[in-house]
Amino acid sequence: MKRAWWKEAVIYQIYPRSFMDSNGDGIGDLKGITSKLDYLQYLGIDVIWLSPVYKSPNDDNGYDISDYQDIMDEFGTMEDFDEMLAAAHERGIRIVMDLVVNHTSDEHRWFVESRKSKDNPYRDYYIWHAGRDAQTPPNNWGSCFSGPAWQYDEETDMYYLHLFSKKQPDLNWDNPKVRKEVFDMMTWWCDKGIDGFRMDVISMISKTEEMPDGEVHGLYGDFSPYCVHGPNVHRYLREMNEKVLSRYDIMTVGETSGVTTEQAKQYAGEDTHELNMVFQFEHVEWDGPGKYGKWTDERLPLTTLKKIMSRWQTELYGKAWNSLFWDNHDQPRAVSSFGDDRPQYREASAKMLATCLHMQQGTPYIYQGEELGMTNYPFQNPAEFRDIESINAYREWCIDGPVSHEDFWPCIIFKSRDNARTPVQWDTSEHAGFTTGTPWIAVNPNYREINARAETADPDSVFHYYKKLIGLRKEHPIIVYGKYEPLLEDSEELFVYTRTLDGEKLLVVCSFCDHETSFTIPDPFVGAPCIISNMGNNYDSAQMTLKPYEAFVLKK
Residues with catalytic roles: 200, 255
341 contributes a contact to ligand TEU by CB under 6 A: no
Residues that bind Ca ion (CB under 5 A): 21, 23, 25, 27, 29
User: What's the CA gap between 456 and 449, in Å, rounded?
Assistant: 13
Among Ca ion, ligand TEU, none, residue 387 binds (CB under 5-8 Å by kind): none
The minimum distance between CB 283 and ligand TEU, in angstroms, equals 13
Among ligand TEU, Ca ion, none, residue 29 binds (CB under 5-8 Å by kind): Ca ion
Spell out, one character per residue from 47 to 66, where the chain touches ligand TEU: x when CB under 6 A holds, - when not.
-------------x--x---
User: What's the CA gap between 99 and 50, in Å, rounded?
Assistant: 10
Among Ca ion, ligand TEU, none, residue 311 binds (CB under 5-8 Å by kind): none
Burial 271-297 (b: 16+ CB within 10 A, else e): ebebbbbbbbbbbbeebbebebbbbbe
Judged by beta carbon, residue 12 or residue 164, the one nearer ligand TEU is 164
The minimum distance between CB 287 and ligand TEU, in angstroms, equals 11
Residues 6+ apart with CB under 8 A from 344: none
Looking at residue 395, what DSSP letter applies? I
Among ligand TEU, Ca ion, none, residue 164 binds (CB under 5-8 Å by kind): ligand TEU
Burial 28-40 (b: 16+ CB within 10 A, else e): bbbbbbbbbbebb
Contact with ligand TEU (CB under 6 A): which of 201, 202, 237, 513?
Answer: 201
100 contributes a contact to ligand TEU by CB under 6 A: yes
The minimum distance between CB 388 and ligand TEU, in angstroms, equals 8
Judged by beta carbon, residue 237 or residue 469, the one nearer ligand TEU is 237
What is the identity of the amino acid at 484?
Answer: Y
- Report the DSSP beta bridge partners of residue 216: 221
CA distances from 122 to 101, 167, 216, 468 (A): 16, 17, 33, 52
Among ligand TEU, Ca ion, none, residue 257 binds (CB under 5-8 Å by kind): ligand TEU
Residue 119 exposed, middle or buried by CB count within 10 Å (0-12, 13-18, 19+): exposed
Among Ca ion, ligand TEU, none, residue 63 binds (CB under 5-8 Å by kind): ligand TEU
Handedness of CA 456, 17, 330, 267 (dihedral sign): negative
389 contributes a contact to ligand TEU by CB under 6 A: yes
Spell out, one character per residue from 218 to 257, where the chain touches ligand TEU: x when CB under 6 A holds, - when not.
-------------------------------------x-x
The minimum distance between CB 120 and Ca ion, in angstroms, equals 37
Closest residue to ligand TEU in the complex (CB)? 63
The minimum distance between CB 288 and ligand TEU, in angstroms, equals 8
294 contributes a contact to ligand TEU by CB under 6 A: yes
Judged by beta carbon, residue 201 or residue 513, the one nearer ligand TEU is 201
The minimum distance between CB 193 and Ca ion, in angstroms, equals 24
Q: Please, which contacts does 388-393 make with residues 24 or more away whose CB atoms are closer than 8 Å?
A: 388/59, 388/60, 388/145, 388/165, 389/144, 389/145, 389/146, 389/416, 389/417, 390/416, 390/417, 390/418, 392/145, 392/146, 392/147, 392/165, 393/145, 393/146, 393/293, 393/295
CA distances from 338 to 204, 313, 325, 511, 516 (A): 28, 19, 11, 12, 18
User: What's the CA gap between 427 and 305, in Å, rounded?
Assistant: 34
Of residues 370, 331, 333, 385, the one with CA closest to residue 469: 370
72 contributes a contact to ligand TEU by CB under 6 A: no
Handedness of CA 63, 422, 460, 521 (dihedral sign): negative
Among Ca ion, ligand TEU, none, residue 23 binds (CB under 5-8 Å by kind): Ca ion
412 contributes a contact to ligand TEU by CB under 6 A: no
| Subset of residues 129 to 168 that bind ligand TEU, contact rule: CB under 6 A | 144, 164
330 contributes a contact to ligand TEU by CB under 6 A: yes
Judged by beta carbon, residue 80 or residue 200, the one nearer ligand TEU is 200
Judged by beta carbon, residue 128 or residue 164, the one nearer ligand TEU is 164
User: What's the CA gap between 75 and 71, in Å, rounded?
Assistant: 7
Judged by beta carbon, residue 224 or residue 451, the one nearer ligand TEU is 224
User: What's the CA gap between 110 and 113, in Å, rounded?
Assistant: 5
Judged by beta carbon, residue 21 or residue 222, the one nearer Ca ion is 21
Judged by beta carbon, residue 60 or residue 493, the one nearer ligand TEU is 60
Helices (H), 192-333: 224-227, 233-243, 261-267, 302-316
The minimum distance between CB 198 and ligand TEU, in angstroms, equals 9
The residue ranges that bind ligand TEU (CB under 6 A) are 60, 63, 100, 144, 164, 200-201, 255, 257, 294, 329-330, 389, 417
